Amino acid sequence: MDLYEYQGKELFARFGIPVSDGRLATSPEEARAAAEELGGQVVVKAQVLTGGRGKAGGIKLSDGPEEAEAAATDILGLDIRGHVVRKLWIEKASDIAKEYYLSVTFDRGEKKPLFMLTTQGGVDIEEVAERSPEALARLHIDPLVGFQPYQARWLCFTAGVDDPDEQKQVIALVARLYEAFVGCDAMLCEVNPLIVTPDGEVRALDSKFTVDDNALFRHPDIGEMRDLEAADPQERLAGEKGVTYVKLDGEIGILGNGAGLVMSTLDVIDQAGGRAANFCDLGGGGDAQGVVDALDVITSDPQVRGILFNIFGGITRCDEVARGILEALDRMTIELPIVVRLDGTNAEEGRAMLAEAPHDNLHVEETMLSAAERVVELAGGS
């Protein structure tokens, strides 16, 4: 789950990372009031779940309430790479002497958190990594040993932060960022830019914060930060029902049990000349309620013209899944063609149950490819 800048900064502040004072605003009037309260120069910042807002015109310095209101009028409603701005963060403006970059992210390859620090901040870190890799200090943290203070010192010296007063602040900030990263079960905590003011004060001017979805149960307060309006309507419904669902842009709705099976189903649909409308994993379940919930989500997508069940009976028996499908069809009205491929434990019983059922739109196939071809054809595929 990605957090907005202002939410990430709220978490930063909880862990003692210095950030600027600010207010949230959703209208030009609120932006004006926020600027009045903060006093002096403020910066009006678009809150969208994507980076590069500065270049896209989503960040504006304002001299006072009037300018802040005008900037808010310009920025609200702006489309930044497909993200429409609905919220603004009005922050006390900072004077910037230097822009650094600091992040800690989860490196899946190494199975360890990875810190990166460079004094060439403010720009895309990929650019720095390509143009001057020697300027980028990188350090993995052994999660079992945990973070050690000397590692922050190493990062500072290697990146070339040489002012002793700055070093002290950056070292403390690195330690706190690691605490935030671990304490929030984050996948990414990025500060770009990490600024040094003309007075020598080090502060986080931006925040990119991603929390592991699978750990949200431990952080109900962070879970509540999710912006439901920014989510796709089907994905929102799926989240409410606890269905594993990813929206795609084709016309065949897919239900499978197990992520691997669903992924190969996507390939087979493609091979049959169709396009998947979604990725929906029933997991180990297959009971009626699970099937009803998944079908509810899939049929709420108006692009769907056919549905394919691809079930391999392992832990779950095929006759149970067949019973779940039939019960679901009794409870809800679906006119779209439904093709079911069942294989594995009790597949024959399952197929027989479906074949005998009084649903004209329900079709049974034995193989994955024939099922895919059938559903693409019935959906009037390309």
Site residues, ligand GDP (CB under 6 A): 43, 51-54, 59, 61, 93-94, 96, 99, 122, 192-193, 205-206
User: Which of the listed partners (ligand GDP, Mn ion, none) does 93 bind, with a CB threshold of 5 to 8 Å by partner kind?
Assistant: ligand GDP
Computed over its alpha carbons, how large is the radius of gyration of the chain? 26
Q: Taking the complex as a whole, how short is the minimal distance between the CB of residue 53 and Mn ion, in angstroms?
A: 7
Residue type, 23: R
Nearer to Mn ion, 8 or 253 (CB): 8
Which one of Mn ion, ligand GDP, none is in contact with 233 (Cβ closer than 5 to 8 A by kind)?
Answer: none
Q: Which listed option, ligand GDP, Mn ion, none, makes contact with residue 320 (CB within 5 to 8 Å by class)?
A: none
Is residue 85 within 8 A of residue 60, CB to CB? The reply is: no
Select the span of 151-159, 169-177, 198-206, 258-266 touching Mn ion (CB under 5 A): 198-206
Nearest of 70, 74, 101 to residue 85 by alpha carbon: 74
- Of the candidate spans 200-208, 273-281, 333-341, 363-371, the one that interacts with Mn ion by CB under 5 A turns out to be 200-208
Catalytic pick among 4, 6, 100, 101: 101
- Candidates 7, 192, 234, 310; binder of Mn ion (CB under 5 A) is 192
Count of positions on this chain that bind Mn ion (CB under 5 A) = 2
Rounded to the nearest whole angstrom, what is the least distance from the CB of residue 6 to Mn ion in the complex? Answer: 13
Catalytic residue flag (residue 101): yes
Among Mn ion, ligand GDP, none, the one that 96 touches (CB under a kind-dependent 5 to 8 A) is: ligand GDP
- Compute φ and ψ for 167, nearest 5 degrees: -55, -45
Cβ nearer to ligand GDP, comparing 25 with 322? 25
- Cβ(337)–Cβ(331) under 8 Å? no
Q: Which residue, 103 or 192, has its beta carbon nearer to Mn ion?
A: 192
Would residue 224 show up in a list of annotated catalytic residues for this protein? no
Candidate list 190, 251, 320, 373, residue with the active-site label:
190
50 versus 345: smaller Cβ distance to ligand GDP: 50
Distances (CA, A) of 246 to 40, 42, 238, 290: 45, 39, 9, 16
* Nearer of residues 156 and 204 to Mn ion, judged by Cβ: 204
The entry of Mn ion, ligand GDP, none that residue 242 binds, CB within 5 to 8 Å by partner kind = none
Window 203 to 242, contacts with Mn ion (CB under 5 A): 206
Taking the complex as a whole, the smallest distance from the CB of residue 53 to ligand GDP amounts, in Å, to 3
Give min distance, CB of 133 to Mn ion, in A: 20
The tokens describing 179, both together, are 């605490």
Minimum distance between the CB of residue 78 and Mn ion, rounded to whole angstroms? 17
Q: Which of residues 48 and 364 has its CB atom nearest to ligand GDP in the complex?
A: 48
Q: Of 102 and 304, which has the nearer Cβ to Mn ion? A: 102
Q: How far is the CB of 206 from Mn ion (least distance, A)?
A: 3
Which has the closest alpha carbon to 166: 225, 100, 212, 229? 100
Q: How far is the CB of 59 from ligand GDP (least distance, A)?
A: 5
Sign of the Cα pseudo-torsion (131, 133, 136, 140, in order): positive
Site pattern 59..78 for Mn ion (x: CB under 5 A): --------------------
Structure tokens at 95: 């004077």
**Which listed option, Mn ion, ligand GDP, none, makes contact with residue 43 (CB within 5 to 8 Å by class)?**
ligand GDP
Catalytic positions, please? 101, 190
Residues that bind Mn ion (CB under 5 A): 192, 206
